[in-house]
Each structure stands twice: as structure tokens, then as C-alpha cells.
Structure 1
Amino acid sequence: MTATACARAVAAALVELGVRHVVLSPGSRSAPLAFAWEALARQSKVELHVRIDERGAAYLALGLAKATRTVVPVVTTSGTAVGNLLPAVMEASHAGVPIMILSCDRPVSALHTGANQVTDQGGLFDRFVRASAQLSGAEGSVATWVHQVGRLVAGAVGVRSADPGPVHLNLAFAEPLTPDDEHWPEVRPTVVEPHRAPPSADDPAPVLEWGVPAAPWSNLPEGYAADAAPEPRTVVLVGDCPPETGRLAWQTAVDAGLPLLSEPSGNARRTPAIRGYRLLLGTELGERIERVLLFGHPTLSRPVSRLLARDDVEIIAVTDGARWIDPGCRVTRVVDRIDPPPGDPAWLRAWRDADDRLLPALDAESGRAAPSEPTPLNGLAVAGAVWHAATRTRQSQESGRGHNLVIGSSHPVRDLDLAPVLGTAPPAYANRGLAGIDGTIATAAGIALATGPTTLLLGDLTFLHDAGSLLIGPLERRPDLRVVVVNDDGGSIFHILEQGAADHAAAFERIFGTPTGARLGPLAAGYGWAHRELTTLTDLRAALAEPIRGTELVEMRITREDRRGQAARLARAGEAAVRA
């Protein structure tokens, strides 16, 4: 047995199991896998993406896996290289994204000896992975290696568990680490069929593993309707989720005539969704909600969190996976499909009327109320322009590789949450599993490489946090990616939180505002990205109307001084819209 034989067996098995993208961070101990993947890439069996920074490489794999819904391995050498993958593994775990860590290691005999780059990395991710395994090139056989690969792939996609997520394969390689004359092995991975619970004689509807009926509303248990209010006032709430889940949520709301409340990355934020739902939830109208049909992972706003924690609201989580979101611990049922009865037209009309009355305030804050006058730049205005541009581009695409939108955490995603609702919407992605700012550029690059032209909207701190991911070597395929940075020189999100109150003004700027004074233009140029700094909304709209070709940074400088005042004005507008 040799390291080369093991690496080739692992790589060949992964290709047989459908892997088409692989991300590699170069290193010495990972050389057997590097050579194997490079050989397969030359045969056009996979596309190999090489990145020198492991942290960015893992997020690139995350983006590729998000967009393709397939397993994407990321290869690293031993030591601290493996530790750099942890943030992406955590995000993938909470978001259910099937990345595979292929960490390479020294032989077990080198553990606890102080040998170079040796640490106990086998169980490093065990709290966050769905499955893990350790293999050695010095022992085992092709059959045993392939078995473990097949088991991990099944765990990553959740084919039996309905619980997709990251997995970890740690490979111990001894010298020699370069290829020899061995032939590529023939591999026959186990074909793992999806779990299908057999229908029962009493209830022919499919069921989830834990026994919750995946049935239409009419198949809910006897007495269920009697326990609920005669015509419960129901809303469809959509958090971060894949496009196909968003489409299901949208159709559910439309078919039943229910108010549709969707976050930007819920992929359901198009007509007839309620644009200002976030501002209405804290009003008397929001207090009247009696039932929530919950799709995806809603974590964006405190009004949503308060709704999901209310003890007078029935919450039904709709998911085809083994996990469901329940931040308020109030979910009463979990189903994988739902066909609710028609809602009360008066209930839907109340939401639409209130939303219509909100439009003047929203348009005024985003600079759309008087288009003939100079428009002040602010986050809402930039977000609205980006949303419009991505939607228009999506409408004009004739192929399936249309325009995508990736959204950074903190204020940009909240600004998009108030953008105009249009007749259609682009596929939208965000790292909302843990809602961190880590790896956002790399994630967007992975989505763009997998699916086509993509716009990324993010703030300056999120951009600087992942600036290293701008580095794409000249031998690598560059994505068609436009990065729009809303640069307010610091952390504007804290202005609208408790920390932004006047009582904390003396300490705020240094420990929360955190201005950097960074110059993004020279930084972008150093990494080979086109850059333009725009000063008007008109210029931004013109730039966004241009096709996305290659990598480009569009910088919009705004102020964050009025963020708290703007939030207060919008909250008052929500109250007024309901009282009118």
C-alpha cells in the first residue's frame, strides 16, 4: 500500500460518486491527493480550483456546494492548515451544505513526538460534521478506502439521514508522496438509495423518519382543526433557504391567499410578498398573527425572532430534512409539505393595505420618491439598485445560467430586506447558517464559478475580513463576479442596536464603529481586480446595467451617521401604516 494508491482510490471513488468540483490548498503532505486531482482535471473529469489560503478555499468549496447541491471536497496539508477550515465547516454544518474536508496527515506514529506540522487533527471537526473517518496509505485496501469514501458522501448529502452537511476524511500519508508507476485502481462505490419510509395502510402519505406526517392539511390528526381557531390568521414566513424551497414557500402562500413574509435569501421575495413585513410585525397587525408556516432559516430581524417566540402563535415548520429551525422553541409540528386551507381575504388585504401605505416612507428613505432630484446615497438606496439590477438581468437571461445575487451579513442584507418587491427575483444566497462575515467573497466566487454571472453586495468590514479571497492565480478560471461594497468605514449595524444609544457615545466609535480608513482601490488593483468608486446612484445603476465579465469591485462610499435615525423613522412609519 502507498500514499499514491490511497489518494487515487479516494479521488476516483469521489468522481464515481458525482464530485465535479474540487478545491485544493497546496502543501507537502497533501501531494498525493494534489497529483491525483490534477490528473483527473486534465482528463476533464473534475474542475480543480487552487487557492493558497485554506480559509478562503473552504468558503470557495462552500459556495460551490451551495450552488450545485453536490459534495465539494477541499484538500489541505497537515497542521494549522486544517484548523483554518473550521469557520467554513461551522457555517456548512448549520446551513446543511455538503462540503468534504480531505485533510492530509503524518503517520499515526508521529503523533505526540514534536515532529514538524504534526497535531491531533483527526477529530478536529467532530462537533460539526455529519460523519468522519481516518484512512492510512500504509494499510487497508482499495475496497476499504472506497467504502469509507462512499459512507462519507452519503453522510454529506444526507441521502439516508435527510440531514446534509460537512464530513471529514483524514488521510495519513507516509513517504514517498510523489506519484509512482502504479495504475489507477478500479473502484466500485456502494450505490446508496434515498431513504423512503413505506406508506402505511391507514395513511398513504409519505412520512419523515421521526414519524411526522408529510401530509396535506387534510391529513393532520383528527381533532387538530378543532384545537385551532376557526379561521386562524396565518402567515407564510420564509428565511434563508435554497431557491427550490423558496419557490415552494411562494406557491404555498399564493395558492392559499396568505401574507408572504420573505427574507432576501428566502428566494420567495417577489410579488405578492409583503415588502415592509419587518416593520409591520411589531405593530397591532403583527400581534394578530395566530399561525406561522415556517420555511427555511429566519434569523434576520428581532421582530421575526419575537414572533417565533410567542406562546400564543402556532408554528408549523415545513422542511424535507431531519432538522428544523425553532429559535423560540415554539414549533408545534414539523412536516415536509403542507396544503393549508384558503386564508381569510380580509386578513391578506389588511397586510397588503398596510404595506401599500408604507411605500412612500420606504421610497423616501431609499431615495426613490423624487427621481428628478439628486438622490442621497445610503444603504437602502444601494441595496434597492442592486436588487433591481439583479432582477432585470435575471429576466433577460434565456439560459439557465442566469444572474445570481450573494448577500453579505450585517446591514446589506437588512437593507435588501426593505427593497422593492418585483414580479420576479434572482436566485439569492447568503451565509445565514451562523450569519458570520467570514469568507463571503470566497463563497460568492464559488457560486459564480458554479452557476454564472453573480453580484455580491456586502459592507466594507465584511469585504476587508475576506480580502485575501480576491487572490486568484493566473492559472485559475476567474469567476464572473461583481462585488459591490457599501463603504461606510465601519460597523454600521451597531448604530441601530443597543450599543448605538446616546448613552454609549463616548466609547462607541472605537469599540463598535471601528473605522479603518482602508483604501479599497489599491487593494483591489494589487489582486488584479478592476475597481471603480462611484458617487451617485445614477452612476451605480449604469454600472450595474453592464454585463458582468471577469472580476470587478464597485465601491460606494456612504455615511453611517443617520442609521439610527433612519431605523427610528421606519419604525414609526410601520406603526402609522397600520393605524391609518
Structure 2
Amino acid sequence: MNTNKQTAILVTHAFLEIGGKHVVVSPGSRNAPLITSFQKENIELHPVVDERSAGFIALGVAIATSEPVGLICTSGTALLNYSPAIAEAYYLGVPLIVLSADRPEESINQGIGQTIDQQNVFSNFQKSFLQLPKQLLTQKDFKNWNQKVLDCLSNSIDKDSGPVHINLPFEEPLYDTEKEKYKLADRKAILTAPNNFLLSSEQQEKLKASQKTLILCGMLKEDAALSELLQKLSNVPSVSILAEHTSNQSAAISIQTIDRVLELIQDDLKPQLVITLGENIISKKIKSFISNSDCSHWHISPSGVSRNTFGKLEQSIEAEAKQFLQRVVELKSKLQKSTYSNNWKNIDSIAEERHKQFISSCAYSDLSVFSKIIQTLPFNCHIQSGNSSVVRYFQLFKNIPFKSFHANRGTSGIDGSTSTAVGFSLIKSELTLLVTGDLSFMYDSNGLWNNLITPNLRIIIVNNGGGGIFRIIPGPQTVKNFETYFEGKHSMNFKGIVTNLGLEYHAAENYDELVNKLDSFYELSSVAKVMEVKTPHEVNDEVLKHYFNFIKTGKHEEVA
């Protein structure tokens, strides 16, 4: 026996056909037919009450599995709470499948409770939308709508992947069951046609002519084959490879600490050709550097999407990063023999030496805290980074021993980092470490209000009493009431929240306490652990400013 709502059964089978295995479900009544149908299949259902958290938990699961993940909710504003996560998934290219229960269309705008117009509510942030009828009356109806549903869901996993939304109106009663009426066609695997990418003759000539080629890696999944290709190009004299941690590439094949290296940059290192792989570059400095260079920009992506990040875009090339790099490797012997790569490596070495000198005597601050966290990281853990200043501090350190590194850089908001880490750790057996800021943690603490929290999750909250980024960037401090309206200054302590959620709480308020607590923080435990590290908000920005000045000049300044 199954639900008597045939559209729910149809959607369930289509979800299986595209490879779906996980669905995050939020409670309600209108979505009962979907819950009934999905429970009949070999699909893992993860219950999360708060739909905003549910959306980001599904995002974390999808990132960890590289598979489409479903979201099921009831009617009304429940659906709207998915919005931040759907926007993030859209700009990250992550396949989320939103399945929203609804009232029949004749009930919309008639003063009936828990009812809104749900059609196309994510119109700016979805790859596809489908409104289903309230019932299917014949086998022919079932067959026709089955194809439409499959087409919609398939849009989530094509080369331009992302979220899709199917809205399902259900009439009452909602809990009745019956034998399945209609026969589904045999399931067929969805095959992606191979893309036999070749460089054009013009592209080959431009690559061969360039004395200064800069390959810049943004957000990418960990991929050994891609790393191997980058390794082969890393010793080409005319090619320099820069990679942020979100690219999941190692320091052995790239310069990872872009912001500090750019403190020493010279005009002769401005590129002639910039090749970007992946999306959403974090560093504002590299964006400015390239924007002010006389260069051409090629952006490589599976969908061929245009990303004119630097105002220099010449070509958007439709190819997988590996396909493109394989063709460049084939040209390796014909590329220029300049000093470009060595020049970059030389200033990277100077920046690294000065970094070590500064850190060795650094005052207690956000910077020294990140240094110690990175020094004590267990090998092969998964790092989930908060946004704002957190992800930028990580970019100042190289050789971080992570297995994977992720930050929600699609929209770069602070609102779902905790929930994303919860979803990710649900899938991965290795340790997952979330490093987050105080405002971000406070904003998303509901991400820990569920039964999905695994013992392999660790969270470090860097509590600097507000939005520390607004003390770093120029401008906000010139505005009246800066601490109130920009920094969000507070004196919050998170012990109560953490212990009420049943998690293990630790705290550090100075360097010695941090060192002592980190010794045991990563040890196995029966519950997840959270460490709150308090840092001096009035010192953090000064330390960072002096750090960059030392990288640039090699001279120390006194911290006030």
C-alpha cells in the first residue's frame, strides 16, 4: 500500500531514477503523501524541523555525496524558508530538489490558512520549475507527467547543475492509502554524452605565445586527476598557478596564500593570459590585480557560463577543467621559457619566511588563534569554513592538512555555515571541523537543533564580540555608531546554547587555554564538541594590519 496521491509516487520514482538517495524532511500535514511515498523506497530521510536549516543541511549532504538531495516541506511560508539555501545552491551549482506540498490552485488567495502562491517562488535561483496537477486520472496522464518530472529533475544534474522545484497540490484527505494504480516504465540510466574538447588553433597559438600565463583556481571539488594535470603544469616556466583553499589543490602545485603574496607583487608579474578554473574567487586583491593588468581572460566551465570577474573576459570555454588542462599539457613542450613562474615562487618564499617570523611573536588575536588551530589540525579532516573574516584568515596559511575544504561562497552569506557542516558530517566518516564566527554561529544555531548531529563533528567559534570583518575593511569605522550598526557588538557567551543542545562545550580566553584545550578537542567522543575561543576585538584588526605591513616591508611595528 502507498499513498493514494499518484503525483507523490511519480515524483518519488523519478527522484530515484536520477540517483537520489537522501531527502531532508520538515514536518507538516500537507506533505504527508510525499513522506508516505518516499518511506516506501530505499531512500534515507533526515528530519529537520526548521526549514531554513533543512535547506542548508541538504546542501551539505549534496556537497558531501556529489548527488542530488531532496527537500520536502509543507505548504505556506515553510517553502520560503528554503530561499537562502536555494540561492546558495544555485550559485554553487549544487543539485537540490525542492518538493513542496501545496493546496489545490482554487484555494490560493481565498483566505485559507497556511496558503500562499507557491509557483515559481525561486524563479531567480532555479534551473527548472514544474507545477503538477492535483490528481492523475489515467495511465496516459501518469506516463506523460512522468516524462515532464524526469525532464525537470534531470536539469538539476546536467552540466549546468543546480536546484529545481516541483510544486505538488494535494486535496484532503492526505493520509489515505491504496495499491499503486499505474505502472511505471522500466528505469533507464541517464547518460551524459562525452565532451571531446579540443583547443582551437587560435587558442593554441595564444597559449604558446604567452610569456606570462596565470592559472587561478577558485571553488573546485577534490579531484586527484585534476591535481595531477596541474602538477604537470606547475614546472612550466611561463605558467604560474594560484589556488585558494576552496579549490582543494595542494601547496605543492600552487601558490595558496594569494593575499599575502600580493603585498610583494611587482608590475612585471602582471599576466598576459589569465585562465580561471572553478568559481567564486575570494581574494579581492587578486581581482584588483588582474583588473589592472593588460591581459586576456579565459574562463573554463562545463556549461560555458560567462564569468567576467575582472572585466577582461575574452572567452568562456565550455569544458571540464580536466579536459582543458589535458590539452594544455599536450602543448607543454611548446610553451614559452620565461622566468614568470620562478618570479612568483620567489616572492612566495619571501612572504612565507616573513609570515613565519611574524607569527612566532604575534600577539593573542584572531591571527594567532588561526595559526594554532591550523598547527594542531588532525591529518585528513574536512574543513567547513564560515564566511567573512574566517575564510580570509584561512587563506593566509599554506600546507593545511585537510582532506577537503568548503565554504559557502556561492552567495558568501553567514547564514547557513553550521547547517551545511551538519549535513556534510552526516555523510563523511572522517572528522569534520567547522570554524565559524560568533555572529554566524548565533544566526544558524538552529542547525544543531535536530537528531542528525554526529560525534565526528567539531565546531570552533572564534568569538571576537561582533562582525570583525568591519574593523578590517576600510569605511565602516568612519560611520557614526559603527559598533551598533555594522559590527553588531555583543557580549554573548555560547555555553548555554551548546549545552542545552546536548553537545560538549569547551572554552578558551587566552593563548595558553587554547593550546591546552586543543590537545584533547579532536579526540574521539560520543557527542559532537564545540569550542568557543574569545579574542580581543579591539586588537584583532591592528594585528592584521601590522601583519600585512610586515609581509610588505619586513619591519615590525608596535601593536597599540
TM range (shorter): 0.7 to 0.9
Please name the residue that 2:286 is paired with. Answer: 304
Question: Which of residues 370, 375, 379 is equivalent to 2:366?
Answer: 379
Among 497, 500, 504, which residue is 2:473 paired with?
497
Taking structure 1 as reference, are residues 46 and 223 closer, same or farther at Cα in structure 2, changes over 3 Å only?
closer
Residue 259 of structure 1: SS of its match in structure 2?
A: strand
- Of 345, 349, 365, which aligns to 2:342? 349
> 1:167 and 1:412 mapped to 2: Cα distance?
31
The amino acid across from 1:513 in the alignment is: E
SS at match of 2:316: strand
Alignment partner of 2:496 out of 522, 534, 555: 522
**Which residue matches 1:393?**
379
Per-residue deviation, 1:344? 4.3
**Which residue in the other structure is 1:463 paired with?**
441
**What is the CA distance between 1:463 and its match in structure 2?**
0.5
Q: Give the Cα separation in 2 of the matches to 1:179 and 1:69.
A: 35
1:352-363 alignment runs, 5 A limit: 352-363=345-356
Cα 1:418–1:268, aligned 2, differ >3 Å: closer, same or farther? same
Corresponding letter in the other structure for 1:515: K
Residues in 2 aligned to 1:276 and 1:573: alpha-carbon distance in whole angstroms: 15
Tell me what 1:194 maps to. Answer: 192
Q: What is the match of residue 203 of structure 1?
A: none
* Residues 269-289 of structure 1: per-residue CA shift (max 9 Å, x gap): 422432432133354436622
Q: Measured at CA, do residues 16 and 477 of structure 1 come closer, stay the same or move farther in structure 2, by a change above 3 Å?
A: farther
**Paired amino acid for 1:234:** T
Percent identity, please.
25
Using the TM superposition, give the Cα deviation of residue 358 of structure 1 relative to its aligned residue in structure 2, in angstroms.
1.8
Q: Output one character per residue of 1:210-236: Cα deviation in whole Å (capped at 9) or x when no partner.
A: xxxx33xxx4324863x6795422222
Letter in 2 for 1:469: G
**Cα offsets for 1:60-115 (capped at 9, x unmatched):** 11111111111101001111101111111111111100001101100011122111
Q: Give the aligned partner of residue 211 of structure 2.
A: 232
Sort the Cα spacing of 1:11 and 1:347 in 2 relative to 1 into closer, same or farther, 3 A: same
Residue identity opposite 1:232 in structure 2: Q
Q: Is the aligned partner of 1:326 residue 2:305?
A: no
Q: Is the 8 A contact 2:415 2:443 kept in 1?
A: yes
Unaligned runs of 5+ in 1: 198-205, 207-213, 395-402
Residue 77 of structure 1 is aligned with which of 27, 50, 74?
A: 74
Aligned partner of 2:398 in structure 1 is: 420
Over 3 Å counting, the alpha-carbon distance change for 1:253 and 1:183 in structure 2 is same
Q: Taking structure 1 as reference, are residues 485 and 128 closer, same or farther at Cα in structure 2, changes over 3 Å only?
A: same
Q: By how many angstroms is 1:249 displaced?
A: 7.0
- What residue identity is the alignment partner of 2:506? R
How many Å separate the matches in 1 of 2:243 and 2:304? 22
4+ aligned runs moved over 4 Å, structure 1: 227-231, 342-345
Tell me if structure 2 keeps the 8 A contact 1:269–1:425: no
Q: Does 1:313 align with 2:295?
A: yes
In the alignment, does 2:468 pair up with 1:482? no
SS at structure 2 position matched to 1:393: coil
> 2:217–2:244: 8 Å Cα contact kept in structure 1?
yes
Task: Determine the structure 2 residue equivalent to 1:542.
Answer: 519
C-alpha distance in 2, partners of 1:344/1:549?
56
> Once superposed, what is the RMSD of the aligned Cα atoms?
2.7
Q: Which runs of 5+ in 2 are unaligned?
A: 556-560
Amino acid aligned to 2:157: V
**Is the 1:65–1:71 contact (alpha carbons within 8 Å) kept by the matching residues of 2?**
yes
Q: Name the structure 1 match of 2:413.
A: 436
Contact 1:404 1:426 in 2 (8 A): yes
Write the distance in 2 (CA, Å) between the matches of 1:413 and 1:538: 21
Alpha-carbon distance in 1 for matches of 2:408, 2:29:
31
Matched to 2:370, the amino acid is A
Distance 1:300 1:237, change over 3 A: same
Which residue does 1:575 correspond to in 2? 552
State whether residues 238 and 298 of structure 1, in contact with CA within 8 Å, keep that contact through their aligned partners in structure 2: no
Aligned-residue offset at 1:486: 0.6
1:243 aligns with 2:222: yes
Matched AA of 1:431: N
TM-score, reference length from structure 2: 0.88
Matched pairs, number = 532
| 1:406 corresponds to which of 379, 384, 390 | 384
Alignment partners' CA distance in 1, 2:208 and 2:234: 22
The residue number in structure 1 matching 2:63 is 66
Does the 8 A contact of 2:291 with 2:312 survive in 1? yes
DSSP 3-state at the match of 2:462: strand
Q: Secondary structure at the match of 1:151?
A: helix
For the 8 Å contact 1:64–1:72, the answer to whether it is kept is yes
1:479, 1:61 → 2: CA distance?
19
1:249 to 1:458, Cα distance in 2 relative to 1, 3 A: farther
CA distance in 1, matches of 2:115, 2:396: 50
CA distance in 1, matches of 2:285, 2:210: 24
Residue equivalent to 1:95: 92
C-alpha separation in 2, matches of 1:246 and 1:500: 41
Question: Which residue matches 1:157?
Answer: 157
Any idea what the Cα deviations from partners look like across 1:404-438, whole Å, max 9, x if unmatched? 1111100111000011325x542111110111111
TM-score by length of 1: 0.85
Bigger Cα displacement from structure 2, 480-489 vs 251-260: 251-260
Three-state SS of the structure 2 residue aligned to 1:156 is coil
